[in-house]
Amino acid sequence: MILKRLINKSWLNYEPHTCIKQLGILKTTSISTLQAKQHRNYNCSNISTSYNPTFYQSENNFMFQVLNKIPLVDNSRLAPSVPITDDLTFTSFLQSHWRSSSATNIVNAFNAVKQYCIMNNITISDTRFDKLVDGLVDHCEKLKDQELYDLLKCLSEYPPPSTFNSHNFHDVWSCLDDVCCGKLPNWNFEMIFAIGDIWFQLRLGKLADFVFESIERLAKKADQLTKDQLVHLFFYFNVCRRKTVPFNIEYALQSKINEMNVDEIAVVALGYFKTKTKIKLETIFITMIQEVGNSAKQIHEMSLSAIMKVLRFSGPIRLTQEVNKMFDELYPEMERFSDIACLHVALLGTGIQTFHPNIIRKCSQKLVENLQNLRIKDIERTLNVLTMFTFDPKTTPDIFGVAFEEIHKDTRIGEMNEYPKCLPAALHYFSLKGIYSYKLMDRILAEDFIRDTYGKYPKLIPLQILSLDCCIDIECPDYKGNRLTPYLRYKAVKWLTEWAPSTDQWKKFSLKDKLFLDVKETIKKIVPNEECMFIHHLLPHFSIADIVICKENESFVTPSNLKQYTLGDIMRPDLTGSKKWYSIMVLSWNNVIRQTTIPLGNTAMKMRQLEKLGYIPVPIFYHDFTYCTPDEKIKYILRKLV
């Protein structure tokens, strides 16, 4: 008898002598089997206990249709042995002594009553199935391979129960899962995929051990899989979501991906995305991007969304030119895609900092016409796209105005309570454009909201909250609502800011660090002495420090009044007299639109706020500065200090 289904069985419904008998069997179960179950190499802590069979999983169902299924046999040969025409016959048939029957008869019995159950919406959780389920649990280990396949196929056609652990249903799938796992080493690839497909149809792909163990077994033989089998395997990665895609499978994929059509590539993409695995091989990126471009006229919106999501997640930053070419091909087709598919296309640009104005303009116009039907999460993502590139698409009506009204609607309160992190993110994106909602800021800066949403520790406070609190000091002088306490703000700033790099730092120098130090050394050659430089975070909601120099009557002077401030303060310059305060901003390639010197939204906001405080922002761009000679670097900075 199998250990798992003995332990998980609903014993309250059984007679005392049955429980005693099963305890005796449990005692003789191998301890090694128990240890193997306890030490499986996966984490089930994030598996949802919900099981809603009425929810139509459109994305997974579409991907399942893409697969080239492998039916083993036509189970129509399992004709009902008894005609079930009424409730009395149905009940009488199920009350037979199934525990003394055979495995074959039990399989035939499930098939015999299947049609009646479908017509009358009867699930196997019905107590009339108790004796038949008891018989199955007793005889499940005697099922032949074909009988096991036939039974699983039959069960997948029954009306689904309310939850995965419903009465009878849990006992049935749990014991069949163990039987499948026990037989797995003896099955060929075709049998494994055929059985795995049925577990998905039973909506148990994430819970069944068989699917996970199939992935483990197939992953070791990835180089032996055909193109169709490899696509199938990625579908199981998507369904199971317990294991990341190992590199040997990606290496096998590299040699097969050119044989796949765009829908099959979408199945692969979803397998990567749902397991939070980044694509590593550039050839796979290139094939995905080119196939989307070549199939732009006929690609399905779900396939498009899946590929866009994994591209954004993986970030093919070296392929900006290829991505723009793909956008050009997609642009004429955007009208036929759904709002969500269009949004995922636009979001790809944010992942690799590539700006395609035509795509964003068309997506924005399509989204603004249906913004009231979008989730708050999708509104937030739309704002992310627009504010990252500081782009106004000039939609009719204005998309920023419509989105601002939408997040204030009372009908959104329930959604915001369910997904509380979306509102601070949306307000942060509005702040990048200088748009503020005092009412909603008062809500999200409340101590209770922060504690309930993020936790009680300052290090858990996100940048969006800190940034909004700091923006109040600069751009919202008449705001009277909730604020972060000075202590909480100071602690949050310590966690979110990066210390300015120095030549004697213990950590390895990044390219950004080297650029900062290079700019610092160049400025040293311009000012009389190092005291004329002040390096600190003038605006604490920006992680990178600034280099401040002050000029009075064409001479550099010490910016002494800034030393009164501490980390977390908004550091304001002394604007008396004829002083000019320069804030030198070191901008790496991560702070600008790819292959340009156009600042991204957060950098543009920083420049705007520095100007409001009285500083003159001096951006030093990586592409302009790095490749200059030492003398050219000095001249480059001096030209900006006007």
Task: Decide: 364 and 399 in contact? Cβ < 8 Å.
Answer: yes
User: What pLDDT is attached to residue 514?
Assistant: 92
Amino acid found at 186: N
Confidence at 82, pLDDT banded by 50, 70, 90: low
Instruction: Between 516 and 623, name the one with better pLDDT.
Output: 516
Q: Which pLDDT score, from 0 to 100, does residue 41 have?
A: 33
Instruction: State the pLDDT at residue 605.
Output: 97
Spatial separation of the C-alpha atoms in residues 441 and 431, rounded to whole Å = 11
7 and 33 Cβ atoms separated by less than 8 Å: no
Q: Which of 96-100, 317-321, 461-465 has the highest mean pLDDT?
A: 461-465
The tokens for 317 are: 């930053």
Q: 110-169 pLDDT, tens per residue?
A: 999 999 999 999 999 999 999 999 999 999 999 999 999 999 999 999 999 989 999 999
Confidence at 72, pLDDT banded by 50, 70, 90:
low
476-485: Cβ within 8 A, 24+ apart: 476/436, 476/438, 476/441, 479/436, 479/438, 479/441, 480/438, 481/438, 481/441, 481/442, 481/445, 482/441, 482/442, 482/443, 482/445, 482/446, 482/447, 483/445, 484/445, 484/450, 485/447
Q: Taking 60 as the threshold, does the pLDDT of residue 219 lie above it?
A: yes
State the pLDDT at residue 576: 86
Looking at the chain, the whole-number percentage of residues with pLDDT higher than 90 is 77
Give dist(CA 141, CA 102) in Å, integer: 11
What's the pLDDT band for 46 if we cut at 50, 70, 90?
very low
DSSP 8-class letter at 599: B
Q: 167-179 burial string, b = 16+ CB within 10 Å, else e?
A: bbbbbbbbbbbbb
Do residues 26 and 3 make contact, with C-beta atoms less than 8 angstroms apart?
yes
pLDDT at position 267 is 96
CA distance 202 to 465: 43
Confidence at residue 3, expressed as pLDDT on a 0 to 100 scale: 45
- 3-class secondary-structure state, position 54: coil
Average pLDDT of the segment spanning 433-438? 97
Q: What is the distance between the alpha carbons of residues 435 and 498, in angstroms, rounded to a whole number?
A: 27
Is it the case that residue 38 has pLDDT exceeding 70?
no
Where is average pLDDT lowest: 71-85, 183-197, 293-307, 355-369? 71-85
pLDDT digits (tens, 9 = 90+) for 272-283: 999 999 999 999
Q: What is the pLDDT of residue 24?
A: 37
| pLDDT band with cut points at 50, 70 and 90 for residue 9 | very low
- In whole angstroms, give the CA distance from residue 640 to residue 45: 55
Which residues touch 10 (CB under 8 Å, ≥6 apart)? 167, 170, 171
Mean pLDDT of 558-573: 92
Question: Are 343 and 384 contacting, i.e. CB atoms less than 8 angstroms apart?
Answer: no
Residue 48: pLDDT band by 50, 70, 90 thresholds?
very low
Q: Which amino acid, residue 134?
A: D
pLDDT of residue 40: 32
Within 9-129, residue ranges assigned H as helices are: 16-27, 31-38, 58-66, 87-94, 103-112, 114-120
pLDDT above 50: residue 253: yes
At 67, the pLDDT band (50, 70, 90 cuts) reads: confident
- pLDDT bracket for residue 411 (50, 70, 90): very high
What pLDDT is stored for residue 25 in this prediction?
A: 34
Cβ proximity of 452 and 459 under 8 Å = no
| pTM summary value | 0.86
Which residue's structure tokens are 């032996």?
A: 224
The half-sphere exposure of 418 on its side-chain side, counting CA atoms within 13 A, is: 8
As a whole number of angstroms, the distance between CA 148 and CA 154 comes to 10
pLDDT at 288 over 60: yes
Confidence of residue 553 (pLDDT cuts 50, 70, 90): confident
Q: pLDDT band at residue 71, thresholds of 50, 70 and 90?
A: low
Place 192 in a pLDDT band, splitting at 50, 70 and 90.
very high
Per-residue pLDDT tens over the stretch 136-147 = 999 999 999 999
Distance (Å, whole) CA 250 – CA 262: 17
pLDDT in tens, 463-509: 999 999 999 999 999 999 999 999 999 999 999 999 899 888 888 88
With the CA atoms of 11, 15, 21 and 24 taken in that order, what torsion angle do they form, in degrees rounded to the nearest 10? 40
Q: In which element (H, E) is residue 557 found?
A: strand 555-557
Structure tokens at 224: 């032996």
In whole angstroms, how far apart are CA 528 and each of 373, 546, 549, 617? 61, 19, 11, 21
Question: For the segment 590-619, what is each residue's pLDDT rounded down to a tens digit?
Answer: 899 988 889 999 999 999 999 999 999 999
Task: Give CA–CA dist 367/361, Å, rounded.
Answer: 10
Which residues make beta-bridge pairs with 551? 556, 580
Q: How many CB atoms lie within 10 A of CB 120?
A: 12
